[in-house]
Amino acid sequence: MKVRTKSKKVNKAWLNDHVNDPYVRLAQKEGYRARAAYKLKEIDEALGLIKPGYLVVDLGSTPGAWSQYVRRKLAPEGAASGVLAGQILALDILPMEPIEGVTFLQGDFREPEAAEQLAQALAGRKADVVVSDMAPNLSGIPSSDAARIAHLVELAVEFAEAHLKPEGALVCKVFHGSGYSQLVQLFKERFRIVKPLKPKASRDKSSETFLVGIGLKPGR
């Protein structure tokens, strides 16, 4: 399928790639809001992280594909609506269209107020899994972008330390490049098991990958 557009060649190439992307087509077929659902699906299927009855926190949730995937994992027979065995709390700086069974909070995770909102919603309970697809708006300046990415990952790790069960898991989007090795080291300092994964659903041209930390180290 070809796409006619008056935009620049780069945009035209991206649009063609997007429309012909098998994961985009699959997402449309299966009712996911974005192809990103399959990134979390691959990670979850590889490591068995999300199970019925769990409390899952989705950071950077909009448009909602990860929350949709989690919702189906927590539902009998993978239903997209109806009975839900577990709970999902989602947060994003942007608004998100409602998903049945998902409690959505709008706020900037970089601000203390957003973390406090989440803490209040947890009401003293600990999460089984925290997933983060957060990414900053990139400036194109490598050193500045690396710092922004690292800051969000560090905040997610801090949140997990405060609100994750001892045997729980954190899934974080990161990017290869400046600062990556330091983020891997951060995970190794905080978690007993650390798995870097690049799902097949991540585009080959993208430097994104995911770090999974399982089991907080004692004292964390």
Residues that are catalytic: 173
Pairing outcome for strands 102-106 and 191-197: unpaired
Q: E strands within the chain?
A: 55-59, 87-92, 102-106, 127-132, 164-175, 191-197, 208-216
Amino acid at position 113, single letter: E
The tokens for 154 are 């560090």
What CA–CA distance (Å, rounded) separates 60 from 29?
24
3-state secondary structure of 138: coil
Indicate the DSSP class of residue 47.
H
Buried b (16+ CB within 10 A) or exposed e, 50-60: beeebbbbbbb
Q: Is 106 exposed, middle or buried (0-12, 13-18, 19+ CB in 10 A)?
A: middle
Please list the alpha-helical segments (H only) found in 164-220: 180-190
3-state secondary structure of 15: helix
Per DSSP, what are the bridge partners of residue 174? 209
